[in-house]
Structure formats: C-alpha cells, structure tokens
Amino acid sequence: MFLFLNILNSSIIISAHVLFILFGYKNRNEIKYSKLFFFIGIINVISFLILLGFSVYIQMSDISLLFELFSLYLRVSFFLSFTVMLLTFGICFIIIGLMNMVKFGMYLLISGIVITISYILLFFALLRINISPLQTNFYFFGGYYLVFSELIAFIFILAQGIKIKEKLLELNGLLLILARIISIILLGSLHTVLN
C-alpha cells in the first residue's frame, strides 16, 4: 500500500511539474520571468525522481537495514525537499508574483510567501533542536507542518488559475492539492507503523 501511494503521489507531483513547464512555455510572451516555470518544473521533477528511486530501493532492501535506510531517507528527503521547495515554490513564486502582480493579482506571490515563511520557520526550529538519528517524531511533525503549509500555498495556485482562466494552472493546483492529501495519508501511515 505504501509503495503504491508513494508511486501514485510522485506521479501526480511529476505531472503537476510538467504542467508548470507547459504553462511557462505557453505563456512565455505574456508572463514576466516565465522561464522560472521551466526551472520550477525541471528541478522538482529531478528531485522527486531521486526521492522515488530512493524510496523504492528502501522497500526492496534487506529487512535488517530497513530502519537505518528509512532514517536516512527521512533526513535526505526532508532536506532535499526543503531546499527545492524553498527555492522553487518560495523564492521563484515570489519573483513571478511580484513581477506579474498588476496583470494577474497576488495569488502566486501569496503562495510563495506562505512557502518561504513556513520553510524558514522550520529551518530555524531545526537549528534550535538537537535531533538524533533515531528521533523520527520531529521529522513527522516537520513533515505534517510543511504538507499543510504547502496545501495552503497550492490552494492559492489553484485560485490563480481560476482567476486568470488558465486551465493548465488550475489543473496544476488541483494535482498539487491531491498530492498533498496523499502525503498526509502517507505520513499518517508511516507514523503509525514506526510508533
């Protein structure tokens, strides 16, 4: 079940990022800094493929290595996701939102601000807490916190698509929201199994 949900979630996320690339290409003459949509799409597809491959490898590994590999996976996925999301959905969306606010409104800007503030707050929390490799509860708390923050940000992406009547952005927002709902289910099932 976990493997299926993980592959489904990753497939949805990859599809959403391909839509970002298509949206950026389609609107390259209308949106300032539209090339950032290419950057967002490509960087996120690569990072999710890395995490998906690592996840599948862990599930096919020897049971004696499972806890060590899973602990490593939590740390790698947490910090890779942290860096990629802060850069792409945070900073890039703030730039795109600021440069296109008059034409499109503030939805992408708000989405970028929500992601940036959420990730920066969690980063400072990480600096203040000494986490041992066996202490996975903090990673689950951080995961839930980020998933819910991203859910709010992705609702703003959907709202932006609805506002400008752009089907690619609407579908992108819906796919990202669906992916975050699946992420909540995955986090809940993992947390239950490990505790």
Q: Give the pLDDT confidence of 149-182 residue by residue, as tens digits.
A: 989 999 999 999 999 999 999 999 999 999 989 8
Residue ranges making up the domain that contains 108: 2-194
pLDDT attached to residue 39? 92
| 57 or 96, greater pLDDT | 96
Q: DSSP readout, 77-131? A: HHHHHHHHHIIIIIIIHHHHHHHTHHHH-SHHHHHHHHHHHHHHHHHHHHHHS--
Percent of the chain beyond pLDDT 90? 43
Q: Angle, nearest 10°, between helix axes 66-85 and 137-163? A: 40
pLDDT attached to residue 63? 64
Instruction: Report residue 24's pLDDT band, with 50, 70 and 90 as the boundaries.
Output: very high
pLDDT digit string, tens, across residues 138-151: 666 777 788 889 89
pLDDT digit string, tens, across residues 77-116: 778 888 898 999 999 999 999 999 998 899 999 999 999 9
Residues 6+ apart with CB under 8 A from 115: 85, 86, 89, 90, 93, 149, 150, 153
Q: N- to C-terminal Cα distance for the chain? A: 18
Percent of the chain beyond pLDDT 70? 80
Mean pLDDT throughout 119-135?
68
Look up residue 89 and give its two tokens: 């959905």
As to burial, measured by CB atoms within 10 angstroms (0-12 exposed, 13-18 middle, 19+ buried), residue 128 is exposed
Instruction: Report residue 185's pLDDT band, with 50, 70 and 90 as the boundaries.
Output: confident
pTM: 0.81
What is the separation of C-alpha 25 from the centre of its chain, rounded to a whole number of angstroms? 21
User: How many domains does one find in the chain?
Assistant: 1
pLDDT attached to residue 94? 96
CB 23 within 8 Å of CB 173: no
pLDDT attached to residue 49? 84
pLDDT attached to residue 90? 93
pLDDT attached to residue 192? 66
- Alpha-carbon distance values, 11 to 4, 16, 121, 182 (Å): 10, 9, 29, 12
